[in-house]
A = this chain, B = another copy of it.
């Protein structure tokens, strides 16, 4: 069994050399398999690399999360964070390099989401011993699973000081552009009731599945809002993501359900989001129940540290809204403006053909390095 498919015993912790070329370092990250729940070997390697190569950092190990920070008592503290885990491997490890349509790529699970990003962070954590701001580096576990299991949930509860800062950068894939804030997400169960009956005598029953028709009609006809905040466009989305109903092939269903996912702009609270969905479905004979919700995060690009970040990156760097929900919203909830910035096309995350352009790795590293060596801070 190759080393990357099993947690390595302690005495053979795979090594990460943060002084290596960014492509080699990313490949080393990728080749230490770390599907959610199996992050230990990679966390060990990150911890070992920091302890060995970054004497300017306090290194804290908390479960399979590694936190490293400076204590230089500067005016500002910037948090740079990335998750170590990936979604399950799809026969796409170890990593491989390829050239396609003239573009060099590193291919494999995690290359895009988000080992390219954490490789950049590790390299800079070791390198940036004289940045114009204090720095907190967070390499965390269990991001690709339920929010309750995400280690940032535990850390925010037990050690909120680890997450404290004036600005946060999440290394999530953004094709080396800046993606500000994130949309909120809400899941609702929309249920209809009827009366069961034999399907040969439907006139004594009442078909709950047929009552879904107007719900689907409204969802299909829905025109989602495009909210422009700090110059970024957040496109909302309201969708049926699941539908179910039926008792047996000869029975009129007495209950049916649509699971609706509403992705809402970060200027909208959870309460407003729920009220909006109820308004969209107003007048229909349905029960509506929210079973999951997470607020979005405003981009906060007009704050001082964010402006300094954008300035250091330069005008060539694309600035967009982040459409998917990410952990930036945890920082927003703590009052810390946060952006996503990392190598890799977010649309490739979780796909079987997950890959990262080599150029993205270099561009992300160079841009963040400019920020950390800028005089702004």
* A binding-site residues for B, Cβ under 8 Å: 183, 185, 187, 198-204, 207, 209-213, 216-217, 219-220, 224, 235, 237, 239-253, 256, 258-259, 261, 263, 292, 323-325, 347
Contact = CB atoms under 8 A, between A and B. Distances in A.
Contact of A252 (B212, B216, B241, B259): B241
Contact of A210 (B240, B249, B292): B240
Contact of A220 (B187, B210, B240): B210
A240 B259 contact: no
A247 B259 CA distance: 11
A300 B216 CA distance: 44
A209 B212 CA distance: 11
A71 to B, nearest CB: 37
Contact of A200 (B204, B237, B256, B259): B237
Contact of A324 (B183, B200, B211, B347): B200
In this complex, the member of A204, A212, A248, A251 whose beta carbon has the largest number of chain B beta carbons within 10 angstroms is A212
A258 to B, nearest CB: 7
10 contacts: A200-B263, A200-B324, A201-B237, A203-B237, A209-B240, A241-B247, A241-B249, A242-B253, A243-B244, A244-B246
Contact of A259 (B211, B216, B246): B246
A277 to B, nearest CB: 14
A325 B246 contact: no
Contacts of A241: 199, 209, 246-253
A251 B220 CA distance: 16
A292 B236 CA distance: 42
A242 B252 CA distance: 9
Contact of A216 (B183, B185, B213, B237): B213
Given A212-B243, A242-B249, 10 more contacts: A198-B347, A201-B237, A201-B324, A209-B241, A210-B216, A213-B216, A216-B216, A241-B253, A243-B256, A244-B245
A324 B216 contact: no
A239 B194 CA distance: 13
B213 A200 contact: no
